[in-house]
Structure 1
Amino acid sequence: MLLTALYCILVAVLLVQLIYYLFFFTLPFNSKKNSGLTNANKAVSVIIYIKNNVNELKQNLPFILNQKYDDFEIVLINHSSSDESLDVIKNFQQNHNHIKVVNVENKEAFWGNKKYALTLGIKAASNDFLLFFDIHCKPLSELWIKEMATKLVTETSVVIGYKSLTSNKFSIKNIFIRFYNTLSSLKMFMFAKLNNPYKGYHENFGYHKQLFFNVKGFINHINISEGETDLFLKDAKSIAKPQIQLSTASYVKEQFVLSFSEFFSNFRKQQTLIRFYSGKTRFLLRLFNISKFLFWLISIYLCFNNLVIGLSAIAFYLLFQYVFISKAAIKLKETQLLYFLPILDISYVFFVLFTLILNLVSKPKL
């Protein structure tokens, strides 16, 4: 009786995972290249948040300044930096007249809040179409603005781009972090493609200024330090028209290797942030994790009771996972992950479970 019930559950969770990989994880890559969107050279404001980033400014700002785009400005928000960031910004501004500086000082209300500083930068932007970039990153092409701007068409447009992670040398920890980043990106793109956006990378994100004001900016979550894209999308979901940009020229890459402790802290916050998402989004995200956990739990158990069925289920699962995720891995330039899929997948399941238990004991501050 127990084995029969386990077989039924195993088939059910395999079906759920198959649907995710077969349909959802390939859907973002099946759209036509231009999707009917215009490639007009509209005026764009690139908004960059700065707080004690002297080295990053010197290293990465030139990649934005050298973008091949005719009509754009750069809005640099200096958020009460205690280092020489403001001096470096002003030096850049002297040589580039399309740089605008917004200096947020301690004396201003909510000065310690990033979302407040971003609001000042958005209000100061001269152009209606906004792109958000992180100074810790660099665009992988001189056509980054152009590629992202093609998806910004109307006042309700939102464009969600891809962010990759740096890998200086072989490291199991780094491979796992990149696997999570890839998996998270696929889910993010999938939901946006289905007109149910819930997340975007603040390092590569854009929308129309009027949309920001239509949802009253960040006012509904101004006291939550995290989620300037996630919670903004939640507020704008009913009127926003999300687009994903998966052109290789639109990618950005972080220029430092994320430590595991930093990743773990960010992951815990992200898992806590899920409680603010819509009920439908929470259900679908948790269904993916729960079905994956149940599959591995039951399959491993069956290997001790019926080795043939247990191994057959695992082989079938890994086969369709590899087939359907390989297209995404190639597109996102993460083919190295394919060699470690079984280990990464199992590690992901128990990592999520451990984080869930830890967050129940002690929730991280948002």
Structure 2
Amino acid sequence: MLLLLFYCFLVVATINTLFYISFFKFLFSVEKAPQVRINQPVSIVICAKNEAENLQQNLPYILNQDYSDFEVILINDSSSDETLAVMEDFELQDSRVVVVNVESNERFWGNKKYALTLGIKKAKFEKLLFTDADCYPKSNQWLKEMAQGFQHEKDLVLGYGAYEKVKNSFLNKIIRFETLLTALQYFSAAKNRHPYMGVGRNLAYTSNIFYENKGFVSHMNLLSGDDDLFVNEVANKTNTSIVYSEESFTYSKPKKTWKAWFRQKRRHVSTAKFYKKSHQFKLGLFYLSQFLFWVLSFVLVVFYDWRLILATMLLRFAIQYIAYGKAASVFKEKDLLWLLPLQDLCLVSLQFVIFIFNSLSKPQFWK
């Protein structure tokens, strides 16, 4: 029995290690300069629900972008605070701001995709750049950098949405570690010509690809997925580009409590079961190999030859460190490397718990 478990452990460790090696093509590729400098008009689209304070803080950074021609579509999704008033104040002050007020609709109540659809219809430019009300760009070059992703035949641009660093907070490290891993996965997949998701904190696509694919119709009934499910449905090896220069990053304030973050992740994870089957299989295999690696490690290091187990673990950790080390450099998250094994174990455990909770009940509305 122990011998069989050991062989299973070797298979699991090998599969998990091969996943990390598959990230190398993205991590160690040279970022090419854009073939053509894009300077076409862009509509920045921001959907907000009860985000008055964040809009006050972050909209000035959006409006300060160093770009010749853009507008900002602000969508008030049935807010109960001062969100609409804040939006209208910005609209009065700046002609580039267009407000779309979405009132409660019994059929689509609590559905961000309905509100986003109305905002997209209001946009006057073909190229659309999306972010959230609680996000702000790294620099005034964000719009210019993301726009360069719209090269010939590229209708979909994936960007990086980071979270602010909070000192002396293990929760903050877990949040940023999970964000780093997610970015590593979807950027690598796109680099390998198999794009499967993006994040709404920093995502761009053309109105043409939105309308040609009937927008969010195929998953309008789902609470989440205005970003990852849409990308999963329309992205392919020829129409998708990636932008990951530091000036293209956006930043958000992370959740402050484990409970709030846990609820957020439950909502995000709930959409994965609606991905294409091939993407579900690959993601499922990765996370299963992560989970089984740790479980079998703990069992076999006690009941089997600990030297063989430790040697296998160290080899896997070495490849993992290379992948995460380079990723931390690319995405400016180097402080996450110090506690890598602990963060890895903690994240695997939390993902297993989230899977159990989502199997028992559905997550709530987006706000």
Q: TM-score, normalised by structure 2?
A: 0.93
Task: Show the counterpart of 2:277.
Answer: 279
Q: Find the counterpart in structure 1 of residue 182 from structure 2.
A: 184
34-43 or 314-323: bigger deviation: 34-43
- State the one-letter code of the partner of 1:353: F
Give the match for residue 21 of structure 1.
Answer: 20
Tell me what 2:222 maps to.
224
Q: 1:112-148: CA deviations, max 9, x gaps?
A: 4221111111111110000001110110111000110
Structure 1 residue aligned with 2:326: 327
Match of 2:4 in 1: 5
Task: Please say if residues 156 and 211 of structure 1, whose CA atoms lie closer than 8 Å, have aligned partners that are also in contact.
Answer: no
Matching residue's letter, 2:299: Y
Residue number in structure 1 paired with 2:346: 347
Q: What amino acid is aligned across from residue 189 of structure 1 in structure 2?
A: F
Instruction: Say whether the 8 Å CA contact 1:136–1:256 is kept in structure 2.
Output: no
Give the paired residue count: 364
* 1:82 corresponding residue in structure 2: 80
Match of 1:149 in 2: 147
Give the stretch that moved more between structures: 137-146 or 258-267. Answer: 258-267
Tell me how far apart the structure 2 counterparts of residues 239 and 183 of structure 1 sit (CA, whole Å): 21
Q: Which residue of 2 aligns with 1:59?
A: 57
Report what 1:106 is aligned to: 104
Q: Give the conservation status (yes or no) of the 8 Å contact 2:153–2:239.
A: no
Deviation of the 1:156 alpha carbon: 5.2
C-alpha separation between the residues in 2 aligned to 1:349 and 1:82? 37
Q: Distance in 2 between matches of 1:35 and 1:13?
A: 39
CA contact (8 A) 2:175 2:254 kept: no
- For each residue in 1:284-317, what CA deviation from the matched residue of structure 2 results, as whole angstroms up to 9, or x when unmatched? 1011111122222222222112121122222222
Report if the CA contact (8 A) 1:131-1:207 is conserved.
yes
Q: 1:7 to 1:43 in 2, by over 3 A?
A: same
Tell me the CA shift for residue 94 of structure 1. Answer: 2.2
Separation in structure 2 between the aligned mates of residue 126 and residue 155 of structure 1, nearest angstrom: 21
Deviation at residue 53 of structure 1 after TM alignment: 1.8
Aligned to 1:359: 358
Q: Percent identity?
A: 37
Contact kept in structure 2, 1:154 and 1:208, CA below 8 Å: no
**SS of aligned partner of 1:164:** strand
The C-alpha deviation readout for 1:53-77, integer Å capped at 9, x for no partner, is 2211110000011000111111111
Check conservation: 1:155, 1:210, Cα contact below 8 A.
Answer: no
CA distance in 1, matches of 2:291, 2:349: 8
The answer for unaligned runs of 5 or more in structure 2 is: none
Deviation at 1:29, TM superposition (A): 3.0
Match of 1:94 among 92, 95, 100: 92
In the TM superposition, what is the alpha-carbon distance from 1:270 to its structure 2 partner?
A: 2.6
Aligned-pair distance for 1:214?
Answer: 0.3
1:34-65 CA-partner distances (Å, limit 9, x unpaired): 36542220110000112222211110000011
Whether contact under 8 Å (2:41, 2:69) holds in the other structure is yes
Task: Supply the distance in 2 between the matched residues of 1:108 and 1:347 (Cα, whole angstroms).
Answer: 40
Residues 81, 295 of structure 1: alpha-carbon distance in 2 compared, 3 angstrom cutoff: closer
In the alignment, is residue 315 of structure 1 matched against residue 314 of structure 2? yes
Equivalence map 1:39-54=2 (5 Å): 39-54=37-52
1:293 pairs with one of 291, 294, 304: 291
RMSD over aligned CA atoms reads 2.0
Q: Which amino acid aligns with 1:223?
A: N
Contact in 2 for aligned 1:167/1:257 (Cα 8 Å):
no
Verify: 1:174 aligned to 2:172, yes or no: yes
What is the correspondence of 1:236-255 to structure 2 with a 5 Å cutoff? 236-237=234-235, 241-255=239-253
Amino acid across the alignment from 1:329 = A
Return the letter of the residue paired with 1:310: I
Residue aligned with 2:167, SS: coil
> Post-superposition shift, 1:254?
0.4
In 1, Cα distance between the equivalents of 2:41 and 2:276?
33
Instruction: Tell me how far apart the structure 2 counterparts of residues 193 and 151 of structure 1 sit (CA, whole Å).
Output: 13
Query: Which residues of structure 1 form unaligned runs of 5+?
Result: none
